[in-house]
Chain A
Amino acid sequence: MIRDKNFNWRLIYRVNFWLIFLAVGLTLIGFIAIYSAGNNNYEISFKYLLVQFLAFGIGLLGFVLLVGFNYQYYKYLDKIIYILSAALLIFVLIFGSSKRGTKGWFDFGFISFQPVEIAKIMFILSLASFLDRKSKDTEKVSFLVSVFAMLAGHLFLIMAQPDFSSTLSYFPVTLTLLFVIGVEPFYLLCAIILGALAVGIPLLKTFLSIQLPLLQDKTFLANLMISLKNFWTCICVVVGILFLIVGGWCFLWKLKIKIALIYPVILCASILLGCIASLPVGKSLKGYQQKRLVVFLNPKIDPRGSGYNIIQSKIAIGSGKFIGKGFKKGTQTQLGFLPEQHTDFIFSVIAEEGGWFIAQLTLLFYFFFIWHAFAIAREAHDRYGSLVATGFAVMFAFYVVINISMVMGMMPVTGIPLPFISYGGSSIFSSLCVVGILCSINMRKYTH
């Protein structure tokens, strides 16, 4: 129930200024890094900066509007928001323009917009509303099914573009919200197993096809790997694992350790479903994407190809040492050794030119920003606000952790940008919108 229908100017004083300060600070770091990453070409630097400024301006507008708007309305508009987000994604499939084989942009001449970024926010808003309403039904299967149906709708539309990396943030957000609302962690584990199998099996195939020539010595591991390449042996392995689970459950039952029958059944079902789902996933992932995901395990497999990014990025970060090489003096950045330096690998630019001090400072900015988002979730006026804030916090945390571990060679290279810093108008616009919603939640925590 919405308490204050009109905007109260006194609320302005309750805006979380720390959140805004950190967001603006990160954006400024981003401006400097993008300018430096312009590769000594002032035209490109200028163009990047212009786009970034423009997006920042539009984002500020969105921020002001969203701060003023009471977030509690979203709770009741959830269906409309979900339909709107789906419509955006459908529109982009029809009217959008393609970049690098992904049909995911609305092109407005000098600036283009990626609706996925907004769709993510809308998804979190509508999912949180759904969870808030059905918070008593977390035990029901229908609840889980409808949540995953909501998720699947978005995923399907995004994979149709196809944009693999944008779908990634959906999983942690959905899973965390489900966990927080009180869903049995076991079900979530099953869901994770299902997803891991669906993505893992095609990746294992790619890995084997790259790595097998290196495994020619007839060790046990090599033989196992080779036998796994056969379709029928795979089936045998899966059936064997299923039998083990059922057998183990029966064994425990005999030992008078009562575990509901539903658990092994769900576990088996998720394994089977995961295996089956791996076939369409394997087809939809492009060859280069699979290779990139695999290569991070061992970049030396292909140093000039897919492993190049990770190796160069690590060199760039490491060579920054304590004080860095100085603004516009990073050799890895300026001489073009670092790939994608203004987007996905922007953190490497900061670490190389700014050194450990600035890089750690950036990390701390992110830490406090996300920490504030979590704090907002803790203190929100209602459960809906808490869920929304948690969702956003997890989304940002996911982006930051995945991107920074990626550039430091701890994760596979996936095209996940760094919020506020990476070049990309849609990203900065949506990030500022999120800050707006978070502030809106925070401002209204004391309203009665």
Chain B
Amino acid sequence: MVWQKEDRFSYETFIGKHKKVCVLFIALFICLSTRLFYLQIIRGGRYRGISEQQRIHNAYERAPRGVIYSADGNVLVENKFAYVALFYPFKQRRTLSAKSIKELSKILGKDVEFIINKCYKYGRFVKLADNLTSEEMLKIREKKLDLEGVSVLKESRRVYYHSEATSHMTGYTGEIRADELEELLGRGYKMGDCIGRGGIEQFYDEYLRGRDGGWQIEVNALGWQIKDFRYVQPEIGASVYSTVDLELQKVAYEALKDSSTGRGAAIVLDTRTGAVKTLVSCPGFDANKAGTKDFGKYLKDKELSLFNRAVQALYPPGSVFKIITFAAAVEIIDIDPEKTVQCKGSFKLGDRYYSCWQKLGHDRLNLISAMALSCNVYFYQLGLKLGIRNLERYARKFYLGQRTKIDLPGEKKGFIPNREWKKSKLKMRWLHGDTVIFSIGQGALWVTPLQMACLISAVANKGVCRKPYIVDRIVDFNGGEIYSHKLESEGRIDLSDKTWTLLHEALLEVVESGTGTRSKIVGIKIAGKTGTAQNSHGDNHAWFVSYAPVDNPEIAVAVIIENGGGGGQNAVPVSRKIYEAYFNMKSGKRLRQ
């Protein structure tokens, strides 16, 4: 170290600068270390994920969906298998050779087209031909060496056995759309998946769809297959056991179809549990056609076949609402059931006349007979006495204006109008006239047929509301039960015993001597209420809600026929057919036992 001593000054300047350079160098290395730490430790997991993603390709084999059974053990929906020929470039090739195409065409006896479109990504199957017979399949397997890149897979197709009658209850399936994929992000759906649409297929899709299997392969940067990891057997979806009684369902569907307009809905609930024994919306559709060209006609259909009227359609309840007015009147104003009122065919309020459906009038009626004959004038007066507040409160008490929480998709809430709504939406004052028509279930009151079924079921149970359900249990492919319905009480309508007694008496009278006499069956006592709901879009809707047997209720039935005319003439016979079928089956079972 000579320089340091000999030329102190220049050494000092040198060492000063040298130090600065060293400091810069240290700072740069700290930067590098920090960056390295950031990339590997902090973001490491993310980058590991990306690196795995770009080296592993999944070639999926679709899992068959689960089977749907009816309550009486019939298969409603299952899968049929067909063989399809697919192109999959296992052996480092992106296209199918001309030789293979020729050979395949020879085996199948038809020209096979091989089209790879622009969005083809490595690792996807390209369909060459479907619906192969097993002979063709065997031939293709034999000539495996000539047909490089061609694989034969079993593909399942959904089969709906009693399609029209059960269509709305089961729903149908279709390929997942891009918007649905986005919506269901993170639930394991991927492009090209089958997804349930409507009914049980949609609501229980997660159970039904099973787990896709397939090949997992490692590819290099060029997309060539380097090695196979594993083949995973696809796992069939779980079986769904619905509560629906197939025979009853069919009867209900036929009865609705034969009714005046052929449009409508029918629901049969087990009053004891809330199980849906029948859920029909008419007209039905053929779910087998989903995904084909024929299905398009349903989409354009004026009769809205794909629309599940039982839970998605809103109708005015009409005279069925009188049940609520009746109950409210007994509870709140403690009306004397024996007191009679004169019905002259119309009712004057202010300078307007509100007519009864019976233009000639009903003469003198007491509470029970007014209900039995569905006299409007009597109920107008009750409504006026009660006032809109009480009526609205009672409508809510009977769970109108809210979903029943049935396990089917797309259920509507319905609507109960009130003063505030009218003021804010229509900018009009609530008039007495509005109360009058509200008391017989008209006006802006909207209900679904399912709500009506629940209502009558609750009435039959003296206020105990059961949550309606359509799926009893779900069993996975191992036979383990992965879901079962737990009986739960949705709520309770608290009314006095006197009210229930009067109401039951009145509802029984409707069938015995009133508007619902057409449903009378020998030996079984039925109680119910008809309704003829006026609407601005066309003919009146025909309603009939009922339950039987009166003394020990088992089932509750709600029927609506869209634009079907009078409830007594049109809806009641449909219910009658359902009752006949139900009690015949029951006695048949008893006989067999």
On A, residues with C-beta under 8 Å from B are 135, 176, 179-182, 314-322, 331-332, 335-337, 351, 355-356, 359-360, 363, 366-367, 370-371, 374, 377-383, 385-386, 390, 393-394, 397, 401, 404-405, 408, 410, 445-446, 448
Q: Which residue of A lies closest to B22 (CB)?
A: A374
| A380 x B18 contact (CB < 8 A) | no
B220 contacts which chain A residues (CB < 8 A)? 335-337
Q: Which of B30-38, B68-76, B198-206, B550-558 contacts A (4 or more CB under 8 A)?
A: B30-38
A318 to B48, CA, bound (A): 7
Partner among A331, A370, A383 whose Cβ is within 8 Å of the Cβ of B51? A331
A316 contacts which chain B residues (CB < 8 A)? 51
| CB proximity of A105 to chain B, nearest CB, Å | 28
A383 contacts which chain B residues (CB < 8 A)? 3, 7, 10-11, 14
Contact A315/B47 with A335-B221, A448-B2 known, Cβ cut-off 8 Å: yes
B539 contacts which chain A residues (CB < 8 A)? none
A21 to B83, CA, bound (A): 67
Q: Which 8 pairs from chain A and chain B are nearest by CB?
A: A318-B47, A321-B44, A319-B51, A335-B220, A336-B221, A356-B40, A319-B48, A319-B47
The interface residues of chain A, by DSSP majority, are classed as helix
| CB proximity of B323 to chain A, nearest CB, Å | 63
| A337 x B221 contact (CB < 8 A) | yes
| A318 x B35 contact (CB < 8 A) | no
A317 to B20, CA, bound (A): 31
| CB proximity of B222 to chain A, nearest CB, Å | 7
Partner among B7, B32, B50 whose Cβ is within 8 Å of the Cβ of A315? B50
| A378 x B15 contact (CB < 8 A) | yes
A393 to B22, CA, bound (A): 10
Q: Which residue of A lies closest to B47 (CB)?
A: A318
A322 contacts which chain B residues (CB < 8 A)? 40-41, 44
B40 contacts which chain A residues (CB < 8 A)? 317-318, 320-322, 351, 355-356, 359
A235 to B39, CA, bound (A): 43
| B43 x A380 contact (CB < 8 A) | no
| A386 x B221 contact (CB < 8 A) | no
A410 to B51, CA, bound (A): 20
A314 to B54, CA, bound (A): 14
Partner among A318, A335, A378, A405 whose Cβ is within 8 Å of the Cβ of B32? A405
| A390 x B21 contact (CB < 8 A) | yes
B36 contacts which chain A residues (CB < 8 A)? 317, 351, 356, 359-360, 363, 404, 408
Partner among A180, A314, A363, A370 whose Cβ is within 8 Å of the Cβ of B25? A370
A393 to B29, CA, bound (A): 14
| CB proximity of B151 to chain A, nearest CB, Å | 24
A408 contacts which chain B residues (CB < 8 A)? 32, 35-36, 39
Q: Which residue of A lies closest to B11 (CB)?
A: A383
A127 to B1, CA, bound (A): 22
A397 to B33, CA, bound (A): 14
Residue pairs across A and B with Cβ atoms less than 8 A apart, 9 shown, are A182-B17, A315-B50, A318-B50, A363-B32, A363-B36, A374-B21, A381-B1, A397-B28, A408-B36
| B44 x A401 contact (CB < 8 A) | no
Contact A379/B35 with A320-B40, A321-B41 known, Cβ cut-off 8 Å: no
B10 contacts which chain A residues (CB < 8 A)? 135, 182, 383
Contact A180/B21 with A317-B40, A320-B40, A446-B1 known, Cβ cut-off 8 Å: yes
Q: Does B476 sit within 8 A of A, measured CB to CB?
A: no
| B2 x A381 contact (CB < 8 A) | yes
B488 contacts which chain A residues (CB < 8 A)? none
Partner among B2, B21, B37, B43 whose Cβ is within 8 Å of the Cβ of A394? B21
A332 to B221, CA, bound (A): 8
B174 contacts which chain A residues (CB < 8 A)? none
A315 contacts which chain B residues (CB < 8 A)? 47, 50-51, 54
Contact A317/B47 with A390-B21, A408-B39 known, Cβ cut-off 8 Å: yes
Q: Which residue of A lies closest to B17 (CB)?
A: A180
B117 contacts which chain A residues (CB < 8 A)? none
Contact A382/B2 with A318-B46, A374-B25 known, Cβ cut-off 8 Å: yes
Q: Which of B29, B41, B45 has the most CB of A within 10 A?
A: B29
Partner among B18, B21, B32, B41 whose Cβ is within 8 Å of the Cβ of A404? B32
A393 to B18, CA, bound (A): 11
Q: Which of A135, A180, A393, A410 has the most CB of B within 10 A?
A: A180
A410 to B25, CA, bound (A): 16
| CB proximity of A127 to chain B, nearest CB, Å | 16
Q: Which residue of B lies closest to A359 (CB)?
A: B36
| B45 x A331 contact (CB < 8 A) | no
B3 contacts which chain A residues (CB < 8 A)? 380-383, 385-386
Q: Does B502 sit within 8 A of A, measured CB to CB?
A: no
Q: Does B219 sit within 8 A of A, measured CB to CB?
A: yes
| CB proximity of B11 to chain A, nearest CB, Å | 8
- What 0/1 readout, one digit per residue, does chain B (117-157) give for beta carbons within 8 Å of chain A? 00000000000000000000000000000000000000000
| CB proximity of B48 to chain A, nearest CB, Å | 4
Contact A377/B47 with A367-B29, A386-B3 known, Cβ cut-off 8 Å: no
Q: Which of A315, A359, A379 has the most CB of B within 10 A?
A: A315
| B25 x A397 contact (CB < 8 A) | yes
Q: Which residue of A lies closest to B2 (CB)?
A: A381
A404 to B28, CA, bound (A): 11
A355 contacts which chain B residues (CB < 8 A)? 40
A401 contacts which chain B residues (CB < 8 A)? 28-29, 32
Q: Which residue of B lies closest to A367 (CB)?
A: B29
Q: Which residue of B lies closest to A387 (CB)?
A: B14
Q: Does B536 sit within 8 A of A, measured CB to CB?
A: no
| CB proximity of A316 to chain B, nearest CB, Å | 7
Partner among A314, A370, A374 whose Cβ is within 8 Å of the Cβ of B39? A314
Q: Does B226 sit within 8 A of A, measured CB to CB?
A: yes
A337 to B220, CA, bound (A): 7
A393 to B26, CA, bound (A): 12
| A335 x B44 contact (CB < 8 A) | no
Q: Which residue of A lies closest to B221 (CB)?
A: A336
B52 contacts which chain A residues (CB < 8 A)? 319, 331
Q: Does B55 sit within 8 A of A, measured CB to CB?
A: yes
| B55 x A335 contact (CB < 8 A) | yes
A380 to B2, CA, bound (A): 8
A380 to B11, CA, bound (A): 11
Q: Which residue of A lies closest to B4 (CB)?
A: A379
Q: Does B13 sit within 8 A of A, measured CB to CB?
A: yes
Q: Does B218 sit within 8 A of A, measured CB to CB?
A: yes
A291 to B533, CA, bound (A): 74
A317 contacts which chain B residues (CB < 8 A)? 36, 39-40, 47
Contact A337/B55 with A360-B36, A374-B22, A382-B3 known, Cβ cut-off 8 Å: yes
Q: Which of A335, A405, A446 has the most CB of B within 10 A?
A: A335
A29 to B585, CA, bound (A): 84
Q: Which residue of A lies closest to B42 (CB)?
A: A318
B18 contacts which chain A residues (CB < 8 A)? 180, 374, 377-378, 386, 390
| CB proximity of A128 to chain B, nearest CB, Å | 12
Q: Which residue of A lies closest to B20 (CB)?
A: A179
B22 contacts which chain A residues (CB < 8 A)? 371, 374
A404 to B11, CA, bound (A): 33
A401 to B28, CA, bound (A): 7
| CB proximity of B229 to chain A, nearest CB, Å | 12
| A318 x B54 contact (CB < 8 A) | no
Kindly list 13 other residue pairs between chains A and B, CB separation below 8 angstroms, not including A322-B41, A401-B28, A408-B32. Answer: A135-B10, A315-B50, A319-B50, A321-B44, A335-B218, A336-B222, A337-B51, A337-B55, A360-B37, A366-B29, A374-B18, A374-B25, A380-B1
Q: Which of B29, B40, B45, B52 has the most CB of A within 10 A?
A: B40
A351 to B33, CA, bound (A): 12
Q: Which residue of B lies closest to A182 (CB)?
A: B13
| CB proximity of A186 to chain B, nearest CB, Å | 15
Partner among B14, B17, B44, B219 whose Cβ is within 8 Å of the Cβ of A318? B44
A84 to B352, CA, bound (A): 119
A367 contacts which chain B residues (CB < 8 A)? 29
| CB proximity of B13 to chain A, nearest CB, Å | 5
Contact A363/B33 with A176-B21, A383-B10 known, Cβ cut-off 8 Å: yes
B13 contacts which chain A residues (CB < 8 A)? 182
